[in-house]
Structure 1
Amino acid sequence: MNLRYGLRAKFALVAGIAVLIAIAAVAALLHRQGSTQREVQSLSRQSMHALASNRVLSHGQGSVAQAADTLVNPLYYFDLDAIGGIVRNQLRQPDVAYAIVFDTEGRVIHDGSPDIANYGQQMTDPFAFEVVSAGELHVQTDDELMDVSMPIRIADQRLGGLRVGYSLASVRADEDRIGATLGQRLAEVGRKHMLWVGTLLAVLAALIAIIALYLQQSVVKPIRRLADAAGQIESGDFSGEIATTDRRDEIGDLVRAFSHMRDSIARHDRDVRRMAYTDSLTGLANRLSFRETLDQRLFENSGSARQLALLFADIDDFKRVNDTIGHDAGDEVLIQFAARMRDVIEQRSGGEGVLARFGGDEFVILLQLPRGGDGDIREAATRLAEALVDELGRPILVHGRHVFLGISIGVTLFPDDAPNASTLMKNGDIAMYQAKVAGKNCFRFYSRAMDQAVERRVRMEQDLRGAWERGELSLAYQPVYRLADNRLIGAEALLRWQHPEHGSVSPSLFIDVAEQSGLIETIGPQVLRAACIDARRWQRDFASGRDLFVSVNVSPRQLRAADLSAQVDAVLRETGLAPQHLHIELTETAVIGDEARVSALLARLRNTGVKVWLDDFGTGFSGLSHLRRVPVDGVKIDRSFIADVLRDPDDLALTTAIIAMAHSLGIHVVAEGVEKEGQYAILRERGCDMAQGFWLGHPMKAQDFMGLLA
């Protein structure tokens, strides 16, 4: 059986011996260190000084008090001879340096000298002030003297005083003599013990050196090797070798465990780097990896003539896939799109293209011409963008269904458009947005004008904030007529903006800004309340307005952001408008993607009596299917169908079919954009219920609409 003598036991044994030796050495050093001599001498001097000073003080106080009593009568009768005799008697005492009798003003009456040379002079020494002002026995000292003073009185009358100064020189001399003798004796004792203290220290030093050498070889050296290996691991270098050992103690266990840990960390580091720099769904580089690559390329190309192109690509209508087919299908679309893009880039970029997914349906491509190759980066980017648009415009088979999407691409160039990565990426995003605005499934190069468009949009958003409170926003009302009897039955509330600098702003501009910025969530309820207030005024002030309804458009963001039914109910209660006189209009895009929630919301509205209309009907890709799943009271045929109903048989047939289909489902139909009498006549002939348009009435201010009612 192998006995394992562990490192802990070794350390315990060595540490115990070292502690015992250290305690003995420290105890000896504490008894014999030089500071002990100085402390003993200092304490001795202090004790002797205190004893001597107390002796002098006790003697002085008694002597001065007795002499002061003796001086009462001589001082009262101003007998200078008797006073002088008493003062000279004080001067003859041991250690007395001076004896002075003074009056109440501190002037010298007698100092013991035969001629009294200081007679009548004011005492000016440092002790004089306290001596004169003291009302009883008073003692003052400095390094050389002890001054003892006593006032002289008859009853309550003060005649003067006596002060005697005692020299402390003899006390100092005694202290120095005794201190020197004591120091010599202590030095002799110290020298006797110095030899064996030195021997003890030498032995202790040797033991410590032996212990340190042992620890260095058995503990410190192996741990230092592990520390060096840990430093390499921290810097990302996992290639360093860790020396093997056959030691059967804790150090051996530590070395082996560290080796296993190094291998485990190396594996985890590879996994973490792959996760940190790779998109988990598509396997492409992610935002972090792409940004590092872009920064590196820009650094390498700074000062050179090489150019770069950045292509920001966004899948068109991708949300529609998630909303209609499901998120699993959306993930499959992203995987197929990534594979197609990778194939196109490999074929068109000559191996110099880097593809990354930034998240969602957003991809970014870094394009660089081969080193030493000829060509123009703009032409190369154009060819690549065209190829991507063509390839990704083809249908994708997902879950047995063909999906048609497309891609919008924004292209920006370095160094023409931007000098750094942040600005380059911002410009690419702006260009991609312009591709979306241009109709999607296309590409656009960044230009300075795009920055101006973005700036104008930001300025419009800033101006739109608070526009309602400033009175810049107002409502216009377009009449809605019933075709059967050409009777006015309601009006659609339309938002208008009269900018103080730019005049009238097109609703298609500022409503889109309000929707994307979220301002519509504030403006929408204000529009709803104002329209209900106006409709209630029509009913109250005009006989012809008692049955009129007002229709208000609701944006998709309003449906997503809050409980619209509660909001509508609060406005109706506040304004007093009957629910059946309020029509809510929403577009198909507001319904797509969340039909279950929207259907429940619309059902709650309709249960209160509010009418719900589907606006711009016929323009959506699946508009007809909504009528089976979404509860509505009517549809509004988009003006694009009405415009050509007189000359395009297809539009006429489609409009007729919408009317017939709506009636078969028990819902009403409103035709928008009626601008000619012939359109009105044919819609009436085909059974359309209601119509609005310029031929029937332009949008007008609330006052003008009330004039129409009058």
Structure 2
Amino acid sequence: MSATSEGPRPPAGTAPSSPRPSVTERHGPWLGEGNPEDVTEGAAVSGTHDYRAAFRAATLPMAVVDHEGLIVTANEALSALVGIAAAALTAQSASDLVDLAADGRTWHAYREVLHGRRSRFRCTRRLKHPDGRSMWAEITVVPMPATEADGGSDGDSRIGDGDSDDGTRGAADGNRPPGQVLLSVADVSDRRELQKQLRHLQMHDPVTRLPNRTLFFERLSAVLETPPYQDDSFPGRGRIGLCYLDLDGFKAVNDTLGHRIGDRLLAAVAARLTDCAEQEGPHPTGAPLVARLGGDEFAILVEESTGTQQLTDLARTVLAALQKPFDLAGQRLSVSASIGVVERPVAGTSATGLMQAADTTLYWAKADGKARWTVFDPERNAHRMTRQALSSNLRPAVERGEFTIEYQPLVGMADGVVRGVEALVRWNHPQFGMLSPNRFVAIAEEDGSIVQLGRWVLRAACRQARRWQLDHPAEPPLFISVNVAVRQVWDSDLVTDVAEILAETGLDPALLQLELTESAVMGSAGRPLQALQSLSDMGVRIAIDDFGTGYSNLAYLSRLPVSVLKLDGAFVHGFRYEDGTHPSPADETIVEAMVQLAHRLGLTVTAECVETAGQAERLRRIGCDTGQGWLYSRAVAPERIAELLGARALEA
């Protein structure tokens, strides 16, 4: 049956004197050069008188089949393949011998050739040899050409007893009269095995021998595309789970010990992950699929998941397995992993959506401290998606004019007179409504858009302060306090921006106060310190916001060009009576000490979050200079501040 051995080619026009191993070479002059299809088509068009002998002696199994699908004649090679004498094959159904009715598409295509509506047909089938071994066979069916013997009564008269056409008559217009067809069966087992080996190499990671990213997504897509069916013994029908894990600190292993040790560690990790997957209970789909997706990332796919509990149990098992040290080439290594766990119904789930959720959850696991598993949380994900939406729209929002500024009064503690206002930016988002600074400022600092936004706030606030001054010339001018992010100091020329804006708006530098957080100011050196000093030399006041919650390096205050300390509201909260209890003596003592120290350094003190008259009285008695909070006023529109300018004094 072999169709791969070699032998000399006989001269054209003569029958071979002895069998030759290669069908392609033996019958080239009669049957055509090339693949089995060429052999079949060549056999159909050969005009030599010895065609019948070549057909019968060919090592390629072949049969002539009539338009009803019954065998007219078969050669000895086909007889040997199916284990039935050649004469006994006559009038048998060819499709039964080579399993052509196994699926509807194959059967339909085969019948189309028989009925003259298709020019050729080819398929691959796994057949059983009489000796018990199986083989992969490529079955080719092509029409036989019409000959002068078409009207003869001899069943073999169409094979080699007359001239033939080119084998395509009637095929072009799809209306060839039904006739005989030539069916050939080529053993392609070796080719299939080679293809199988090549596919294995393409679909598996060479380091860990696990399925790679390509095979993982192929399997995942197949699972999601397969409709679920009910089975009471396995309640997880129609659900899917994924553990997506990343090794913590693996890069350090590669960098310090080299990629050879790193690869061995990956292989050892893969073996433990496989063991963990195989420990899962009985499942109709077998053990979960473990794959290496690239680098130090692995995935464990659980088909027919029974719920989140199954996935978290598997994640715990994995973490416990990885806690045990690895002994590799004399190196004793420890490694941990962060795992994102996702479990959901197959219906409505896409491969992309599942992997995005898993990737997000893995990020949470690392952000939460690593060496842990984290389950996907829709609410947390919604918050993340909101952050992404806000981040992508921050810069365009400034250009579209979606930001506004409200102003909160800063009031003298001794007389209740409004001394200045703090500018608080708001985002009038078209989808999420009016957003306070805590919803978007941190995002702006992360992506750098705070520089553009901060410049806009500074210009708008200074312009508004100057307008109040011009509209109320008889009133002492209000100073304007504007928050400045650390990134504005580092990533922009803040000093130049401030100088240009003051010149543009005509505002006196003494009426501008810039607020920076304590953690941003403490430890300032180099460019930040130079910028603060230049601003102070310009006449701009520098205030430390939320003082007392950061580094609280009081000695450093003497070396900074700071004019104002704003006490964090956490201390002020301790001044109020709650549920009939007395205020915190410790908070009062701490605030009193900070106020006295600030005054000795020549600084003024502002208390934030003043909400009650009792708080205001105690803060005034301690010596705070100005207060800010709901007791006096919430942040309001510029028009409301203009109204307050007439009264100036706010009742506490």
**TM-score, structure 2 normalization:** 0.48
**TM-score, structure 1 normalization:** 0.45
